[in-house]
Every structure is written in C-alpha cells, then in structure tokens.
C-alpha cells in the first residue's frame, strides 16, 4: 500500500527562536521606555502618602489637646526622620517614622544654630496653635511642605517647591 505524499501535511507548528527573541525584545523595549514615568509616579505617590501621614499625625495631636484638654508635646527629629506626640496621659504616645525614600528636610521655624537638632512644640488646650512646618523630599528632590495654619489650626499640605 502506497500513500501519496500530496495528502500529507506538515504537522509541526509553533514559533521559532528568532520570533520569540523579537517578541521578548519588543516587550523589553516597551518596559524600558515606560519605566521612568512609572517610577516618577510611584515617587510622587510616596511623597503624597508621607504628607497625608504627617497631616493625620498632627490632626491627632491637635485633637487630643482640644478634646481631652491636655497639653500635647510634639518632637520632630529630622536626622532620625521621625515624629513623636505624647501627653501627660500615659496612654497617649504616637510615633510616626517616615519610610526611607522620604526625608525630613527642614522644620520651621528653624533653629539658627543647628537645624538638625530635634524640635519640640507644645500644643495647649484652648491656646494658640504654633506655626509648625515640616518640609519633606523624596529621592528625586521633589519637595512638599506640610504646615499647621496658626489661624485655623488645620494642618495642610502646601504646593511643591523646587
């Protein structure tokens, strides 16, 4: 019994190594071109998230001073990149440590002798709110200023500075 060669079809299917390398190269090229914008977006989100965390921290301290009628002490350590709020009530101690890519650049009002020294602020119940400003920056140099408005006593994040 003879079979005809004309009736046979080549059953080998798939992609060649060259075709696979071309697809992998195109994917790597697209990923390489989009990485800087994605990384910049992630850095901006980290900066905004740190700003929101500082605002929440300051709101908690201000709320504690007003509602519990207790003096609240706020310590800001630029060198350690952290903040602590505590009151005479032993149960109230709040600590905020900023993640590594975000740094505390400056605390206003500044101490002329040594700006890296820890800053201490007291929040008195029913008293005037001190003007506290914390400038933070990410690793690319973008900065954001978080401050407490002395008139309204509301913490807010101000426009980025370059």
In tens, the pLDDT along 117-126 reads 889 999 999 8
Which pLDDT tens digit goes with each residue over 20-61?
999 999 999 888 888 777 777 788 889 999 999 999 999 999
For position 40, what pLDDT does the model report?
73
Q: What is the CA radius of gyration of the chain?
A: 28
| pLDDT, tens digit (0-9, with 9 covering 90-100), for 18-27 | 989 999 999 9
Q: How far apart are CA 103 and CA 94, in angstroms?
A: 19
Compute the C-alpha angle 10/16/17, nearest 5°: 155
pTM of the full structure? 0.76
pLDDT of residue 158: 86
CATH superfamily assigned to domain 37-161: minor pseudopilin epsh domain (3.55.40.10)
* Residue spans per domain, the chain: 37-161
Distances (CA, A) of 24 to 16, 20, 86: 13, 6, 55
Tokens of 121: 């602020």
Helix (H, G, I), strand (E, B) or coil at 81: coil
List, in sequence order, every beta strand (DSSP E) within 60-154: 72-77, 82-87, 93-97, 103-108, 119-123, 133-137, 143-148
More confident residue, 41 or 73: 73
């Amino acid at each position: 019994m003879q079979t005809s060669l004309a009736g046979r079809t080549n059953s080998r299917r798939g992609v060649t190594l060259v075709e696979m390398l071309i697809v992998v190269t195109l994917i790597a090229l697209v990923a390489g071109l989009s990485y800087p914008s994605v990384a910049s977006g992630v850095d901006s989100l980290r900066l905004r998230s740190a700003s929101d965390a500082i605002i929440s921290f300051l709101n908690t301290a201000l709320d504690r001073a007003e509602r519990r009628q207790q003096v609240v002490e706020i310590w800001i350590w630029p060198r350690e990149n952290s903040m602590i709020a505590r009151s005479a009530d032993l149960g109230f101690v709040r600590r905020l440590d900023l993640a590594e890519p975000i740094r505390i650049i400056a605390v206003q009002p500044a101490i002329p002798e040594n700006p890296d020294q820890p800053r201490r602020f007291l929040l008195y119940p029913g008293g005037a709110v001190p003007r506290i400003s914390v400038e933070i920056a990410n690793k690319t140099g973008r900065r954001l200023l978080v401050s407490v408005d002395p008139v309204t006593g509301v913490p807010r994040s101000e426009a980025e500075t370059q």
